[in-house]
Amino acid sequence: MANNPLLEKFTLKDQAAPFDQIKVEHYLPALEEAIKEAKANLEKIKAEKNLTFANTILALEQLSEKLDRAANIYFNLFSAEANEEHQALAQKISPLMSAFSSDVSLDEEVFKKIKFIYDNRQQLGLTGEDLKLTEKMYKDFSRNGALLNPEQKEKLRALDQELSVLSPLFSENCLKAINAFEMYITDSKDLAGLPEGAIEAAAIAAEAKGKKGQWLFNLQAPSLIPFLTYADNRDLREKMWRASSSKNFKDQFDNQEIVLKIVKLSSERANILGFKTYAEYVLEERMAKDSATVFAFLEKLIEPSMKAAKRDLDEVKKFAGTDDIKPWDFSYYSEKLKEQKYAFNEEELRPYFKLENVVEGVFEHARRLFGLTFKPVTDIPVYHPDVKTYEVYEEGTNKYIGLFYTDFFPRETKKSGAWMTSYREQGMWAGEVKRPHASIVCNFTKPTPTKPSLLSYDEVATLFHEMGHALHGLLSQCKYKSLAGTNVYWDFVELPSQIMENWVKEKEGLDVFAKHYETGAPIPPELVEKIKRSAQFQAGWMSLRQLTFGWLDMNWYTTSPSQITDVDAFETKTLERLRLLPKEQGQNMSVSFGHIFGGGYAAGYYSYKWAEVLDADAFEYFKEKGLFNKEIGTKFKNAILSRGGTAHPMDLFKEFRGREPDTAALLKRDGLV
C-alpha cells in the first residue's frame, strides 16, 4: 500500500486530488484497504456502550472518508476520463462498494444505535443540523433495508450487488456505441449547408484518424447537432440521425437486456422495502411525494405543449412545402424557418460566444449576483490537459470559498452530455468543516487551428446551467457533507442550474460577455432582439420533447416488470399518444437513456420540468427587482444556494419568494398560454 496516492493524506494546496500521481492500478488496492479501515471504524461504533450523537451519528457520518474520497475520484473519472482498462474496473469496484454499503446499512447493531439516538433526539437536545442529520440517517437506513428480516436483507444485498454492475455497464456501452460510429465524407459537395466551423472540425477529426483530405462526422454533440441542423444532403442527415437514434439497439453494444434487468431488479428492491413500485420508493424523498402527483403534473403540461407542438410541426411542414417531414428533417427545416421568420441564423451568434469570454461572463454573473471572484491557478494537478482550475473567493473579504475545475471538450474517453460534480463536498472532513472542490464537465465545440472555441447559443446556456449547479456546491454553508451543496431532493436540485439560463435570454445578461472574437465589438442590439423574439420559437415542440422523456421514465418505473417483455414494444406503446412524427424502424430512446439507467434520474426525469416551474417563478422576482439586484441575489444565495438539504425545499423556496411557486410563470415564459 505504500506510495498509493489515493491512500496518503492529500498534501497539495487545500488537499486537492493528486491527479498527476493516480494510475488505474491504484484504484482497486486503495479501495480494498480503505474498506478495511472503514470496517474497523464500524466495529468501534458497534463497541460503544454510552451512546451519544458524536459517537454514533457523527461517527457514522465520518465512517469512510478515505474510501469516499478514492471512490469519488474513480467514478468521476469513469465519466470524464476513462480508458477501457479504467472502465472495465467498474465491474469489480461497483460490487465491492455495494457490498460495503450493504454491510453498513443492513447491520442490525448499527441500526439499533441510530434508532436509540433518533428515538431520544428530543431528550438529547438535538437541534439544527445535528437533528436533521439524525433524522436523515434514520430514514436512509430504513429506506435501505435496516427494518427487514435477515432473509429479506440477504435478498436486498444480492439485488444491490447485481444493480451495482448494471448501471456502469449501461454507460460503458453508450460510450462505446458513440465512439463506434464514424461517417467519412470524401466529396466536398456533401458538405453543402454546413457552417465553416463544423467543416473545419470535421477535417481535423479525419486527419487525426489518418484520413487527410476527408471530413469525419460522429455522434458527439458538436458534430451531430450542426450536421442535423444545417447539412443540405438529406440522405446523410438520415444516416446520422438513424445512427444516433438506434445506438445501443440491436447492435454490438445492445442495452436491451440491461434495461429489462435494471427495471426488474429496481422493482424487486422497492417491493422488499414495502413500496408498490420503484417510482413510489424514489418519490418518497422528493417534493412531488408520489407518482400520482408526477403524472398529474405531466398531464397538466402535456395538453398545452401538445397543442403548441402540433402548431410548430404544421408551420414547419408548410414552410418545407411537404407533409413528408421525417425526424432528420425537422431541425433542418426548423432552422431555415427561424432564419426566414426572424432573419436569424444561430451561427451568427457563434463569433460572439468565444468560450473564454463566456467563462469570464459566467464568472462576472456570479460576482454581481453572489459576490464571488474566480482566480485561475496553475499549481493544482489535473487529470487531462483540457482541465482548468480556479480558486474561488468572496469579493471584498477575500475569504476562500472553494476550488473549481472546468473540463469543456469532447474526447473518446469521456461520456457525452454535460454535468457538475464534486471532488470534495463542503462540510466536515476529519472533524473540520472544509470548503468544496467542484467541477463542471461538458462536450463543447473545440477550437481549431484558425478559430478559438466558438460556442453555439445552446452551449452557452449549458455552461450557465452547469455553473448554477457548481454555485450550489460552492456556496454551501453547512456543517455536514451529507446535507451540503447539491444533496437536496432531485426535483429541487435543478432550480439553481435552470435559473442561471435565464440571464442569457436577456440583453443585460448577454452584454456582460458577448463580444466578437476578432473585433471585440459587443453583440449588436438587433441580434439580441432576434434571440428574444425567437425565444418562444418551437417552445411547444421542445416542451413536448422534455415531457416525452419524463413520461417514458415514469412508465418504466411504475409498470410491473412482469408486463414488460420487449423494450421496444413497451416504449412504442408508452409514447404513442405523445408522438407527432411516426416512429422509424430501429429508433429506440430507452437503450441510451443514460439519465435513468446509467445516472441517478430513475423516476426523476420529470424534475427538469418541475424545476422549470420553480426557476421561471424565481426569475420573475429578479425581473421585478432588477436582473443584478444584489439584495435579491443575496436572498437567493442565503435561502437556496447556501442551505443544501438542511430544510425542506418548499420551505426554502417560500423563504426566497415569499409564497409557493406559481406554474403560470412557466407557461407564460414559454408562450404556451
Q: Which residues are catalytic?
A: 466
Q: Answer yes or no: are the C-beta atoms of 527 and 230 closer than 8 Å.
A: no
Report the DSSP beta bridge partners of residue 376: 390
Residue whose C-alpha cell reads 433524522 in the numeric block: 135
Is residue 305 classed as helix, strand or coil in its secondary structure? helix
Strands 437-441 and 400-407: parallel
φ, ψ for residue 661, nearest 5 deg: -65, 150
Cα dihedral 608, 610, 612, 614, rounded to 10, equals: -140
Sign, CA torsion 94/100/105/107: positive
φ, ψ for residue 522, nearest 5 deg: -65, 155
Q: Answer yes or no: are the C-beta atoms of 453 and 444 closer than 8 Å.
A: yes
**Distance from CA of residue 267 to its chain's centroid?**
24
Cα dihedral 209, 212, 213, 214, rounded to 10, equals: -10
Strands 400-407 and 388-394: antiparallel
d(CA 466, CA 421): 9
Residue whose C-alpha cell reads 446523410 in the numeric block: 236
What cell does 88 get?
Answer: 472495465
Q: Answer yes or no: are the C-beta atoms of 97 and 164 closer than 8 Å.
A: yes
What cell does 43 get?
Answer: 466495529
* 542 burial level (CB within 10 Å; 0-12, 13-18, 19+): middle
